[in-house]
């Protein structure tokens, strides 16, 4: 009986010793995990800090990009405005047969425009600074003639020239303002109203950049579309 008790006690001691070893191993693992968690937590804090800095930087960049985009739009508008102002006295004559102007397009236009538009006040007074065909290869007889671009020295004289479709020597010609494509489309949108005003003998003026003024019954009416 005593021998059996000794065996049981010995087994219990061995079991306790083994349990203590396992507990020590577990404590050691927990300690290692705690250290790893501490390192991970620190890394996570650093990551959150860096991400926060990056978010702030991205927000600042987005604000800067938006401001730059707004500035680009403003600069583009100013550039277009300057470009159109530099062309304010320019006109484009489309459809005039090639060579009709001879070797001196300025002299041709100074004589032809007052006569064609019945503007006797401009006869011998119209001043044209320059005139030339579009810079393109000379077309063949069957091809469309190049446009003739010319600059009238005085803006008021330019306003007397009717813009639109006309007939010259049984051929259709067109006179357009020399502006960039965007403003040209705005001008073009008024063509129907301008023809109507002309048919009804209602005075009108197309103001820069694209504003139609109509003089009607003692009133000046302005339209932007």
Q: Are residues 127 and 200 in the same domain?
A: no
Domain termination residue (choose one: 65, 86, 107): 86
In sequence order, what are the beta bridge partners of 92?
A: 149, 176
Domain, as residue range, for 126: 87-178
pLDDT score for 89: 86
pTM of the model: 0.56
Domain for residue 218, yes or no? yes
Is 212 inside a domain boundary?
yes
Q: CA-to-CA distance for 204 and 220, rounded, in angstroms?
A: 9
Q: How many domains does the chain have?
A: 3
pLDDT at 96: 92
The pLDDT of residue 9 is: 64
- Looking at the fold, whether 212 and 174 belong to one and the same domain comes out as no
Q: What is the per-residue pLDDT for 192?
A: 83
213 lies in some domain: yes
Q: What is the pLDDT along the chain (225 residues), one digit of tens a residue?
A: 655 666 666 666 666 666 777 777 777 778 788 788 888 888 888 888 888 888 888 899 999 999 999 999 999 888 888 887 778 888 999 999 999 999 999 999 999 999 998 888 888 889 999 999 988 888 888 888 999 999 999 888 888 887 777 888 888 888 888 877 787 788 778 888 888 888 888 887 777 777 888 888 888 888 888
Question: Do 105 and 160 share a domain, yes or no?
Answer: yes
């Amino acid at each position: 009986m005593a021998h059996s008790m000794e065996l049981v006690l010995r087994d219990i001691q061995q079991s306790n010793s083994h349990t203590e070893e396992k507990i020590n191993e577990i404590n050691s693992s927990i300690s290692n995990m705690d250290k790893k968690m501490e390192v991970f937590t620190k890394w996570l804090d650093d990551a959150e800090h860096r991400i926060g800095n990056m978010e702030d930087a991205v927000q600042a960049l987005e604000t800067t990009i938006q401001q730059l985009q707004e500035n680009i739009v403003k600069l583009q508008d100013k550039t277009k405005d300057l470009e159109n102002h530099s062309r304010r006295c320019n006109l484009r004559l489309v459809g005039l047969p090639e060579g009709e102007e001879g070797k001196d397009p300025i002299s041709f236009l100074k004589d032809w425009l007052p006569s064609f538009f019945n503007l006797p006040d401009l006869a011998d007074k119209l001043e044209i600074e320059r005139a030339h065909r579009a810079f393109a290869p000379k077309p063949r007889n069957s091809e469309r003639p190049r446009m003739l671009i010319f600059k009238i020295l005085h803006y008021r004289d330019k306003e007397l020239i009717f813009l639109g479709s006309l007939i010259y020597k049984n051929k259709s010609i067109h006179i357009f303002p020399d502006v960039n494509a965007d403003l040209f489309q705005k001008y073009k949108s008024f063509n129907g109203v301008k023809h109507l005003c002309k048919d009804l003998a209602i005075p009108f003026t197309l103001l820069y950049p694209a504003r139609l003024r109509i003089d009607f019954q003692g009133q000046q009416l302005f339209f932007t579309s």
